[in-house]
Amino acid sequence: MNVRWPNKKNVIRIGAALFALFLLIQLVPYGRDHANPPTTQEPKWDSQATRQTFFRVCKNCHSNETEWPWYSNIAPTSWLVQYDVDEGRSEFNVSEWGRARNKGDEAAHEVREGHMPPWYYLPPHPEARLTKAERKEYARGLALTFGEKGEKERKK
């Protein structure tokens, strides 16, 4: 079997083109607005433990206290981080509690089912990993703090 490798000039051209593209996408302004607006009001937490777990696991996307990692300054990862923070804050933001409708009543279910935190968030944020026991206790605390959507239907 005879394998034909690309010639050296083509490999260099492709590499240079990819590097140029990488440099060009750095000019896209989206993903660099690392604003953390002031906290206006927090919810009444059921316990300090629930609040501490929330700020360890969820604050980067669901509060105005986001810690922006170094890779949030480099496209295209900056686009993904900015999108996740924008989306997370629009759905559920504990720093602006009472200002707009927050979907806090879905938080316990999302944590219990393992949907939050999302799998792709965990490798760069090992502090957000929850053991089964932590997940159960945290979901209970979220339910006590925010209630649960569809709670009446589940009890039937």
pLDDT digits (tens, 9 = 90+) for 106-124: 999 999 999 999 999 999 9
User: Residue 139: inside a domain, yes or no?
Assistant: yes
- What is the span of the domain harbouring residue 127? 8-155
pLDDT digits (tens, 9 = 90+) for 43-66: 999 999 999 999 999 999 999 999
CB burial string 5-18: b at 16+ within 10 A, e below: eeeeeeeeeeeeee
The number of domains in the chain is 1
User: Residue 58: inside a domain, yes or no?
Assistant: yes
pTM of the model: 0.81
User: Residue 104: inside a domain, yes or no?
Assistant: yes
User: Residue 2: inside a domain, yes or no?
Assistant: no
What pLDDT does 152 receive? 44
User: Residue 86: inside a domain, yes or no?
Assistant: yes
Residues 43, 55: Cα–Cα separation, whole Å: 13
pLDDT above 50 for 156:
no
Residues 135, 87: Cα–Cα separation, whole Å: 23
User: Residue 102: inside a domain, yes or no?
Assistant: yes
